[in-house]
């Protein structure tokens, strides 16, 4: 049997991509805000109904630029249950991550615990919409306004998600996204920032382009740009996004039907206010031993799920002054994301479920 990974990158028909490549060859414009980058930014801006959208090199540089653009300092309250980039982006900007434990229902940061972690050094809240499920955005906004804090959402998993009728990327002072090849929508490598003012948007665009326009230098920026080749892939994939999400939904619901939920659970799905993108299929086992046993049995059949997210980030070896986050620490040892992509064979899904059911 072929190797079944946790995800499989969508690739558009070659002729669609080749049509865009021909335009690149016609212009010899490869990077530096080329016409395809401009076109992609315009189309995604329209798709999200958000005016201030910037296409970047990857999701991590998007987080770092967000921190720079908001002039943050001191401490940032954040989640321990996410990919490591959420934390390392704070460390790279020489700020201190302060971890607040997660909600046991959806694994997002527990908004009810945030205020207790605020100090005179706190400048922002950086929360992840884990698996594309919305954080408690209303509560977080109230807390942020009360304490004069900025809010950044790591929305790496959330492209294509709508909450209360608008894109989930619309919330917060800034939302960042990843367009890595493993994501629901990808540009091979890529990322983005959404903000809500022209002044901040202009600063973000400067920060991603070394801080200068021609011979006029305004601030210390970095190279956060992306290329015409990546934009071409994004333009192709954007046309297929609806079908990609529908295909993922079908596999998602098949897992729902076939798994034995007596000794298993997954994050709670939101109410009817959510239009989901079916980015991941995480399940949580009773203990670490069972999780590892399931992994070994699936691997033996050439099936490779992933422990998204492990370890709990407050336990990383390079973190100082560890904050205790018992729920995140527990879930991270017991969670497993199962293979999920549109053309995954339903018979493989059935096999995965049979192995899991027999093990638990």
Question: Which domains are delineated in the chain?
Answer: 14-235 (3.40.640.10), 241-359 (3.90.1150.10)
Looking at residues 306-324, what average pLDDT do you find? 93
Average pLDDT (319-334) is: 93
pTM of the model: 0.97
Determine the average pLDDT of the residues in 201-223.
Answer: 96
Taking only the tens place, the pLDDT of each residue in 281-308 is 999 999 999 999 999 999 999 999 999 9
Q: Please, are residues 175 and 194 in contact by the beta-carbon 8 Å criterion?
A: yes
- Examine the pLDDT at 270 and tell me if it is beyond 80: no
Cα→Cα distances 43→162, 239, 329, Å = 17, 10, 40
pLDDT score of 297: 98
Q: For residue 230, give Cα distances in angstroms to 30, 149, 179, 318.
A: 10, 34, 10, 33
Task: Give tens-digit pLDDT for 158-177.
Answer: 999 999 999 999 999 999 99
Q: What is the pLDDT of residue 38?
A: 98
Mean pLDDT for all residues in the chain: 97
Please answer whether residues 86 and 115 qualify as being in contact, where contact means their C-beta atoms are separated by less than 8 angstroms.
Answer: no
309 cis-preceded (ω within 30 degrees of 0): yes
State the pLDDT confidence band at 18, using cuts at 50, 70 and 90.
very high
The Cα 181–Cα 188 span in angstroms is 4
What confidence score (pLDDT) does residue 321 get?
Answer: 78
Given the structure tokens 């995954």, which residue do they identify?
Answer: 344
Strands (E), the chain: 4-5, 52-56, 75-78, 96-99, 122-128, 150-154, 162-163, 166-167, 174-178, 191-195, 212-213, 216-217, 274-275, 282-284, 303-304, 335-337
Predicted pLDDT of residue 320: 85
């Amino acid at each position: 049997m072929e190797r079944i990974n946790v995800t499989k990158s969508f690739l558009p028909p070659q002729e669609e991509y080749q049509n865009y490549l021909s335009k690149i060859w016609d212009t010899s414009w490869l990077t530096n805000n080329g016409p395809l980058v401009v076109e992609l930014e315009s189309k995604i801006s329209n798709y999200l109904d958000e005016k201030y959208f910037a296409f970047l090199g990857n999701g991590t540089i998007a987080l770092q630029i967000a921190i720079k653009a908001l002039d943050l300092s001191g401490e940032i309250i954040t989640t321990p249950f996410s990919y490591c980039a959420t934390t390392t982006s704070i460390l790279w900007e020489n700020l201190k991550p302060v971890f607040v434990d997660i909600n046991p229902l959806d694994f997002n940061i527990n908004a009810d615990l945030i205020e207790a972690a605020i100090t005179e050094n706190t400048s922002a809240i950086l929360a992840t919409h884990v698996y594309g499920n919305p954080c408690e955005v209303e509560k977080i906004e109230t807390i942020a306004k009360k304490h004069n804090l900025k809010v950044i959402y790591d929305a790496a998993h959330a492209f294509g998600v709508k909450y209360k009728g608008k894109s989930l990327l619309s919330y917060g002072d800034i939302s960042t996204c990843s367009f890595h090849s493993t994501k629901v929508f990808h540009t091979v490598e890529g990322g983005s920032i959404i903000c809500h003012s022209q002044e901040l948007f202009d600063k973000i665009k400067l920060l991603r382009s070394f801080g200068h326009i021609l011979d006029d230098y305004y601030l210390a920026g970095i190279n956060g740009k992306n290329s015409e080749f990546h934009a071409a892939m994004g333009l192709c994939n954007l046309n297929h996004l609806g079908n990609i999400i529908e295909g993922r939904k079908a596999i998602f619901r098949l897992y729902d039907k076939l798994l034995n939920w007596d000794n298993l659970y997954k994050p709670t799905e939101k109410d009817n206010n959510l239009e989901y993108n079916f980015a991941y299929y995480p399940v949580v086992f009773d203990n670490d031993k069972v999780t590892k046993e399931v992994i070994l049995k699936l691997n033996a059949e050439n099936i490779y799920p992933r422990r998204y997210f492990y370890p709990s980030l407050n336990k990383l070896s390079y973190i100082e002054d560890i904050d205790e986050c018992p729920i995140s620490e527990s879930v991270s040892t017991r969670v497993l994301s199962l293979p999920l992509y549109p053309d995954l064979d339903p018979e493989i899904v059935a096999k995965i479920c049979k192995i899991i059911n027999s093990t638990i």
